[in-house]
Amino acid sequence: MVVNKQLDLKISDRLDILYNLFQGEQINHLIDKLDSRAVSAFQKFMWEKTVEFGISCRGKNFDWKEVTRKMTPTPDFQRQQKCSKSVYYCKGTDCIYSNPKCARKKIKEHVDVMAQSIREYIRIVKQRELL
């Protein structure tokens, strides 16, 4: 089996993320200990888990836009950072190498929003199971 190491997280990092999510703890601090490649993988893992939990909770009614609308729009984020690059380039996967401080800031915000969404999905599923 071939594993794509380009955007992969160590199992221990994945478990740390999930543990913190289920404990209701912040997770964006986990980004601080990762290299740039792993930070992009962290964001990808969070998107995968957000979709997975969202579909488990909402089924066909899950819409990723319910998550992204809580995030700062890219043009607004760029203005806040005084960035003059094209909006197209304001992606964590691109800027993580050219401007890692800014990219990490954006990714941390996204991760916070995704974590809040996942926690809400967990609460909804738990409530359903109690009924």
Report pLDDT for 7. 60
Q: What share of the chain is helix, strand, coil (3-state, %, to 5)?
A: 75, 0, 25
How far apart CA 80 and CA 67 sit, in angstroms, is: 21
Contact 111, 48 (CB under 8 A): no
Report pLDDT for 118. 95
pLDDT tens digits, 12-44: 999 999 999 999 899 989 999 999 889 999 999
Report pLDDT for 126. 86
Contact 30, 108 (CB under 8 A): no
pLDDT tens digits, 52-102: 999 988 888 899 899 999 999 999 999 999 988 888 878 766 788 888 899
Q: What is the pTM of this model?
A: 0.87
| ∠ Cα 89 114 97 (to 5°) | 30
The per-residue pLDDT of the chain, averaged, comes to 88
Phi, psi (rounded to 5 degrees) for 64: -60, -20
Decide if pLDDT at 5 tops 50. no
How far apart CA 83 and CA 91 sit, in angstroms, is: 12
